[in-house]
């Protein structure tokens, strides 16, 4: 039973789906955020995901 459950789960991967350059990596390049770090993070991630979508759709759809 235990084994069955594991068999039905996705394996963990090192690099997360939806991400090309993780925010943490970008953050290291930024000296200091004076504004809201959450906005900066969210927008970075949303736009970064477009790059991800591009290359994966090249592979899967086209």
Question: Residues interacting with another protein, by CB under 8 A?
Answer: 7-11, 13-15, 17-20, 50, 52-62
Quote the tokens at residue 54: 């591009």
Euclidean distance between CA atoms 44 and 25, whole angstroms: 11
Closest separation between CB of residue 45 and another protein, Å? 13
Question: Residue 15 or residue 28: which is nearer to another protein going by CB?
Answer: 15
State the minimum distance, in angstroms, from the CB of residue 61 to another protein: 6
Give dist(CA 53, CA 30) in Å, integer: 25
Is the Cβ of residue 21 or residue 33 nearer to another protein in the bound state?
21
With beta carbons less than 8 A apart as the criterion, state whether 20 and 51 touch: yes
């Amino acid at each position: 039973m235990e084994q069955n459950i594991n068999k039905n789960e996705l394996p963990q991967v090192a690099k997360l789906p939806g991400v090309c350059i993780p925010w943490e990596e970008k953050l290291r390049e930024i000296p200091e955020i004076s504004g809201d770090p959450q906005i900066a993070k969210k927008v970075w991630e949303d736009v970064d995901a477009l790059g991800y979508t591009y290359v994966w759709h090249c592979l899967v759809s086209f």
